[in-house]
Amino acid sequence: MTIQILMPALSPTMTEGNLAKWLKKEGDAVKSGDVIAEIETDKATMEVEAADEGRLGKILVQAGTQGVAVNTPIAVLLEEGEDDSALAKAAAPVPAAAPAAAPAPAASAPAPAAAPAPQAAAAPAPAAQGGGRVFASPLARRLAEQAGLDLKAVKGTGPNGRIVKADIEAAKAGGTAKAAAPQAAAQAPTAAPAAAPAAAAPAPKAAGIDAKDLSDKLGMRYKAQPNSSMRKTISRRLTEVQQTVPDYFLAIDCELDALLKVRADLNARSKDYKLSVNDFIIRAAALTLKKFPNINAAWSEEAILRYDHVDISVAVATPTGLITPIVKKAETKGLAEISNEMKGLAERARDGKLKPEEYQGGTFSISNLGMYGIREFAAIINPPQACIMAVGAGEQRPVVKNGALAIATVMTVSVTVDHRVADGAQGAEFLAAFKKLIEDPLSMLL
């Protein structure tokens, strides 16, 4: 039995991805665990490992293809003993899936809907797509078919819940998961069309002036740079925030001279770390957030979620766009640990090698543009978080101390806060407590 390799969901929120590169070519032997392709998600490029063994019989989606929906067949794997003649039957349903995925008038829906039915009847996994794809090894599928077991009723104990031989044998011994094969086949035609309209829904057109349409009408010359998945995600999320989150902005000036002295002293003590001002900012924010759980929170319609730990998302600029790797449980980490962890995260972010768990989540964000000489700016909240901190450059400014004019290194820090979660006075108290730690850096070491 041939095995279809599907576009994987590499994160809980992934609905589509770009097939960046094939690392195996047609005819190559494939072992379980082999890296066969690279998939570009909305935030990173990730390697895809094979779950089964066999020979790569046919590549259905070519390298460079964009917007491939999750669970779309991208290749066909031949099992041991199978030759290329098996590909004709396996690959036949794939072209029929294209019309179902494309937006089409309601009247033409029945014709393409009928095509996936043979595929659903032939293999249990596609038949279950309407209620969730069943992951099982080829051997487990054969044993289940012979025993008349319904795979949807079998609990998998393999990797990621995959059904393996032992699960089928346990189900047979327990007398569970019995189901007639005709019943499963009968359900398949209804399951396949049900999934088609969801995939066919076109993306809503952005409100406002269509720049391309206007430029074409006015004869303005331009070069069109296709939007990457990351760029589209940034656009969607930030537009959502601007439309749905009632926020406010606060700013405060922090003197850095004492912090710069402590930083220099600590860096001179060891070569195992090299602390940056941003490391101190992350540490100070984490400690302050533990004192202000109403800021380390998120809004939901049922309740305000106050998080147990401080997971700080730190904005990193990459060639393809902004990404926010996370320093998790930052309140439990010292300056050296934060510094070394952040260096590794930033490097992997720029190389597009972050794992989903390294950038998904977070309870608070920090964006620092000080290295560009930006004195002050207001950042956009990173949903569903309730607050983001914007850090400007440290620069020498005139200040008044004890009634006399003096010069100090001053950094302006601002926060954007979701008013549904924290009121203005709470935001101001948080920022004042943060300033106190920055100006008394030794207290961070206690």
| Spans of all domains in the chain | 2-86, 247-445
pLDDT at 199 over 50: no
CA distance 211 to 227: 14
For all residues of the chain together, what is the average pLDDT? 81
Range ranked top by mean pLDDT from 179-183, 241-245, 316-320, 415-419: 415-419
Confidence at residue 119, expressed as pLDDT on a 0 to 100 scale: 38
Domain 247-445: which CATH number of 3.30.559.10, 3.40.50.1260, 3.40.50.11290, 3.30.420.40: 3.30.559.10
Q: How sure is the predictor about 188, in pLDDT bands with cuts at 50, 70 and 90?
A: very low
Q: What does the pLDDT look like over 93-104, one tens digit per residue?
A: 443 333 334 444
| pTM of the full structure | 0.63
pLDDT at 178 over 80: no
pLDDT at 353 over 60: yes
Residue 248 · residue 428 · CB < 8 Å: no
Mean pLDDT of 435-444: 96
pLDDT at 295 over 90: yes
309 is catalytic: no
pLDDT at 393 over 80: yes
* Phi (first) and psi of residue 104, to 5 degrees: -145, 155
Residue 43 · residue 61 · CB < 8 Å: no
In the three-class reduction of DSSP (H, G, I as helix; E, B as strand; rest coil), residue 86 is classed as: helix
Q: How sure is the predictor about 110, in pLDDT bands with cuts at 50, 70 and 90?
A: very low
Min mean pLDDT across 235-249, 277-291, 358-372 is at 235-249
Residue 376 · residue 394 · CB < 8 Å: no
Q: What does the pLDDT look like over 220-232, one tens digit per residue?
A: 999 998 887 778 8
Confidence at residue 374, expressed as pLDDT on a 0 to 100 scale: 96
Confidence at residue 288, expressed as pLDDT on a 0 to 100 scale: 98
The CATH fold assigned to 2-86 is: OB fold (Dihydrolipoamide Acetyltransferase, E2P) (2.40.50)
pLDDT at 369 over 50: yes
Between 412 and 200, the more confident residue is: 412
- Catalytically annotated residue among 237, 375, 419, 420: 419
CA distance 418 to 206: 24
pLDDT at 279 over 50: yes
Residue 136 · residue 125 · CB < 8 Å: yes
pLDDT at 331 over 90: yes
Residue 294 to residues 218, 283, 308, 417, 435: CA-CA distances in angstroms? 51, 18, 11, 11, 18
Q: What is the DSSP string of 229-286?
A: HHHHHHHHHHHHHHHH--EEEEEEEEE-HHHHHHHHHHHHH-SS----HHHHHHHHHH
Q: How sure is the predictor about 139, in pLDDT bands with cuts at 50, 70 and 90?
A: low
Mean pLDDT of 164-172: 78
Mean pLDDT of 65-77: 88
Residue 240 · residue 207 · CB < 8 Å: no
Q: Which of 164, 119, 114, 109 is nearest to 139 (CA)?
A: 164
Q: How sure is the predictor about 70, in pLDDT bands with cuts at 50, 70 and 90?
A: confident
Confidence at residue 204, expressed as pLDDT on a 0 to 100 scale: 55
Confidence at residue 20, expressed as pLDDT on a 0 to 100 scale: 87
Chain centroid offset of residue 10 CA: 8
pLDDT at 270 over 60: yes
